[in-house]
Structure 1
């Protein structure tokens, strides 16, 4: 990036450098816990928000302006790649994403197109608008959904509690699963390279549902493709690898050569950090439910995490997963203030 960042704390931490305090951003930081988000959401559908660069920029900027976080993340959705490939995607209030044409047979899989980058141009356009508005204040993170997580939505046709249809596919028709995963991976490489070319300062790969998998299935149906993606994108910006289950899978995740591993809240973060090769940073790992608690509890838990990580190079504060929609905005703002006041 030609723009010199006024606040490069996040980038330094992502590159495993010492920082005077941990940088902070939070997954789903531009979301439903903000009244200002609903002012926009009540006027447009979710996909309209994603696909209109000016609106995507408005939403991306909310936590920048209202919370003062150290990194912005592009407002979009992990499922836009699946839609571009041919998935008939809709979002239903209180239900979440749905695909009316789930992918369950070879014929379904063959319908998925890989040559679809032009359908995602609105994301590159949004990145350019956001970077104009950020004007070098803080870095912008781009992202994509990892192939296994995208596959699970395409196969189930919606969110799932048990991933029964997905696991049935992996067990009964592994070749078909690999065909679909390879297509998603190829689209994801092109999509992330497009974001890097458009000007993002970092990338995060979200494998939200990896925790559904056994160790061997994670290796074969998730890690294999994440490694392929990270080997084929332009490594000109730091890359974060996140999954629910990273507390278990971190030793394998590191083989994909990410710059940062984002850790869920089930593990001791220092233990994970010290088990990784030198130069790999960690991100995490506060349980988001802490943000429902009294402010004194929020402060204590954040300070406990920070004291545990004292002396570790390469630590980005985040939640173990995304902010829930009914967490009080005031509590999130307070948490950010506590983090920004802290000094090592």
Structure 2
């Protein structure tokens, strides 16, 4: 039991004075060792598809901060790339997908075997799990179907979420068909990550924010319910975590889903509400505003202590309420880990 990762023991109901800690975007541009490796890799996509380099990037923050879990280094848009919607990353603009997905693409997407195209990702998982000590967990992940669909429909980062909501109202069948395909492919993708060695999986629904309940239920809650049930059927012991950013009190609907073991809360959510309504029902994860790790100091410490005190008596994972930004000083991250570990 002592060697079993603290991160996994939380999902068995254990409560720790110093909870397990990891961070969203813990591997990335704020680390000088990442920037050095990234410069050698060629394109960002080359880095994602190179198992040796992607595994090294995954391990970098574990070596530096001795965190309780590593999260696979990849990108949420690898599934559309595997489906044949060409993915590129443009400096200063972010991801670009072409051509824009249409109703004519749906059946072709259904026939695609994403496992074959994404085999390098599964090799990264296996290499990373082999390199991690037994007391560290490895988290696999995917973008939630709605968030991935928004990029596929917009051809890149979403500039007008209202336009995609209107698309749902005007052509609901097409949107639901696309979500259905992405749901099935995400199940395949995450199951393959688990088979390769991932100890848990997280689904990021970063564009769930601002959707009226009937839309949110159709494009986010129900697909995540289907994915998590399928994963739990194939791998009953593997924790499934949802991160539906910006959904506010609708987070309670996700926590009720049968396959939901953990729920990430974002920095805008009142942690007292989360403790009262989510704590004890699921493992709550996160909450800290990532910009506090940029400024550091007393404000960061006070905010971290708020979460540590509120969730001291229920299973909890310390994390951010979104990912690190590139300007985050690594020394502030090290200090934050010290604060969390103060109970040990």
Moved over 6 A (4+): none
SS of equivalent residue, structure 2 residue 26:
coil
Residues 310, 236 of structure 1: CA spacing in aligned structure 2 closer, same or farther, 3 A cutoff?
A: closer
For residues 11 and 159 of structure 1, the distance between their equivalents in structure 2, rounded to whole angstroms, comes to 33
For residues 25 and 44 of structure 2, the distance between their equivalents in structure 1, rounded to whole angstroms, comes to 14
For residues 4 and 37 of structure 2, the distance between their equivalents in structure 1, rounded to whole angstroms, comes to 28
Question: In the alignment, is the contact (CA less than 8 A) between 1:16 and 1:279 conserved in 2?
Answer: no
Map 1:305-320 → 2, pairs under 5 A: 305-311=307-313, 313-320=314-321
* Cα root mean square deviation, aligned: 1.7
User: What is the CA distance between 1:250 and its match in structure 2?
Assistant: 1.1
Question: In the alignment, is the contact (CA less than 8 A) between 2:244 and 2:251 conserved in 1?
Answer: no
For residues 19 and 189 of structure 1, the distance between their equivalents in structure 2, rounded to whole angstroms, comes to 32
Residues 331, 187 of structure 1: CA spacing in aligned structure 2 closer, same or farther, 3 A cutoff?
A: same
User: What is the CA distance between 1:279 and its match in structure 2?
Assistant: 4.4
For residues 5 and 117 of structure 1, the distance between their equivalents in structure 2, rounded to whole angstroms, comes to 34
- Report the TM-score when normalising by structure 1: 0.93
For residues 90 and 134 of structure 1, the distance between their equivalents in structure 2, rounded to whole angstroms, comes to 31
Aligned to 1:327: 328
For residues 307 and 135 of structure 2, the distance between their equivalents in structure 1, rounded to whole angstroms, comes to 27
**What stretches of structure 1 of length at least 5 have no aligned partner?**
none
User: Residue 109 in 1 paired to residue 106 in 2?
Assistant: yes
Aligned to 1:169: 167
Residues 68, 277 of structure 1: CA spacing in aligned structure 2 closer, same or farther, 3 A cutoff?
A: closer
For residues 148 and 97 of structure 2, the distance between their equivalents in structure 1, rounded to whole angstroms, comes to 11
Aligned to 2:293: 291
Question: In the alignment, is the contact (CA less than 8 A) between 1:203 and 1:237 conserved in 2?
Answer: yes
For residues 183 and 294 of structure 1, the distance between their equivalents in structure 2, rounded to whole angstroms, comes to 43
User: What is the CA distance between 1:303 and its match in structure 2?
Assistant: 1.3
- Pick from 186, 190, 197 the counterpart of residue 192 of structure 1: 190
**What stretches of structure 2 of length at least 5 have no aligned partner?**
none
User: What is the CA distance between 1:5 and its match in structure 2?
Assistant: 7.2
- Pick from 36, 39, 48 the counterpart of residue 39 of structure 1: 36
User: What is the CA distance between 1:341 and its match in structure 2?
Assistant: 2.0
Aligned to 1:22: 19
Alignment length (residue pairs):
338
- Report the TM-score when normalising by structure 2: 0.93
Question: In the alignment, is the contact (CA less than 8 A) between 2:278 and 2:284 conserved in 1?
Answer: no
Question: In the alignment, is the contact (CA less than 8 A) between 2:279 and 2:311 conserved in 1?
Answer: no
SS of equivalent residue, structure 1 residue 17:
coil
User: What is the CA distance between 1:7 and its match in structure 2?
Assistant: 5.7
Provide Cα deviations, 1:277-326, integer angstroms capped at 9, x if missing partner.
84411001001111122422222221122122222x21101110000111
Structure 1 window deviating more from structure 2 (211-220 vs 57-66): it is 211-220
- Pick from 264, 267, 271 the counterpart of residue 265 of structure 1: 267
Question: In the alignment, is the contact (CA less than 8 A) between 1:96 and 1:158 conserved in 2?
Answer: yes
For residues 81 and 252 of structure 1, the distance between their equivalents in structure 2, rounded to whole angstroms, comes to 26
